[in-house]
């Protein structure tokens, strides 16, 4: 388990380094989305602070105004950070552990760890890929439609219209089939946390999401361009296919 230990140790060390103890601005009443963003940037990285060389916050996406643009950018970063964290952990697990149960009713096993994660994806049957992408598509559409439903347990303002960036709606009557647990905080462990604790959690989540983005791209770079990330040379298996256009992400 040399590979697993190396990855886990690197993850713990770097994640701790990216977590800031500063929470002063979390309790401050900010006057605008821009000042909120600038204050959050200080908590996220006190050394760099606010950094927007392209001035993306002033691009006025879809002519919705600067506050809506900032809401979109903040939501996008949080969501993609979560995806990257899931991808990073999934990559580590798929590289080292083989699921013991059958993948299909006919007894077909899951792809072996002899294959790299992209090769394992390519080896999945088309039905499995459709199931995965259908669930992802449903979750994405459901979150976007939460601002247009009448169910008070589901409704939440859209993140571009004053809603909280990164918030995911609860499951309720809007779901055609009963769902016993919500996607976020399914066991209710976070609902009684203080606002200060939630602010610290947000800072840690965003920073760890940024770190995970670098991590998963590092895996993919070393895999397709051996030697590009020397520290991963003995960890990541080479992949000769095309990650974007090749068989790793094709469906047929």
Residue list, annotated binding site for chlorophyll b: 82
Note whether 241 and 247 are within 8 A (CB). Answer: yes
Helix 66-96, helix 2-18: angle, nearest 10? 160
Binding residues for chlorophyll a, as ranges, are 77, 80, 205, 208, 210
- What span, in angstroms and rounded, lies between the C-alpha atoms of 96 and 144? 35
- One DSSP character per residue, 106-170 reads T-PBPPPTTS-HHHHHHHS-HHHHHHHHHHHHHHHHHHHHGGG---TTT----TTTTPPTT--PP
Which of helix, strand or coil describes residue 38? helix
Helix 66-96, helix 195-224: angle, nearest 10? 60
Could you tell me what percentage of the chain is helix, strand and coil, using 3-state DSSP and rounding each to the nearest 5? Answer: 55, 0, 45
Note whether 167 and 79 are within 8 A (CB). Answer: no
Binding residues, as ranges, are 77, 80, 82, 205, 208, 210
């Amino acid at each position: 388990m040399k590979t697993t230990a190396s990855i886990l140790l690197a993850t713990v060390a770097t994640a701790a380094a990216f977590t800031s103890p500063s929470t002063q601005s979390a309790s401050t009443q900010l006057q605008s989305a821009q000042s909120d963003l600038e204050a959050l940037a200080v908590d996220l990285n006190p050394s760099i602070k606010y950094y927007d060389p392209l001035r993306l916050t002033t691009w006025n996406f879809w002519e919705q105004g600067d506050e809506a643009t900032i809401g979109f950018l903040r939501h996008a970063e949080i969501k993609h950070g979560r995806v990257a964290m899931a991808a990073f952990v999934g990559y580590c697990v798929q590289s080292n552990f083989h699921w013991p149960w059958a993948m299909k009713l006919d007894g077909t096993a899951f792809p072996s760890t002899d294959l790299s994660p992209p090769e394992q994806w390519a080896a999945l049957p088309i039905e499995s890929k459709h199931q995965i992408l259908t669930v992802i598509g449903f979750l994405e559409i459901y979150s976007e439609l939460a601002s247009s439903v009448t169910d008070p347990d589901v409704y939440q303002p859209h993140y571009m219209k004053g809603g909280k960036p990164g918030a995911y709606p609860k499951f309720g009557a809007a779901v055609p089939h009963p769902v016993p647990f919500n996607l976020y905080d399914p066991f209710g462990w976070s609902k009684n946390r203080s606002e200060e604790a939630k602010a610290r959690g947000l800072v840690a989540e965003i920073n760890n999401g940024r770190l995970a983005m670098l991590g998963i791209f590092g895996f993919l770079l070393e895999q397709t361009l051996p030697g590009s990330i020397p520290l991963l040379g003995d960890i990541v298996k080479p992949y000769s296919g095309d990650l974007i256009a090749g068989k790793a992400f094709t469906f047929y």
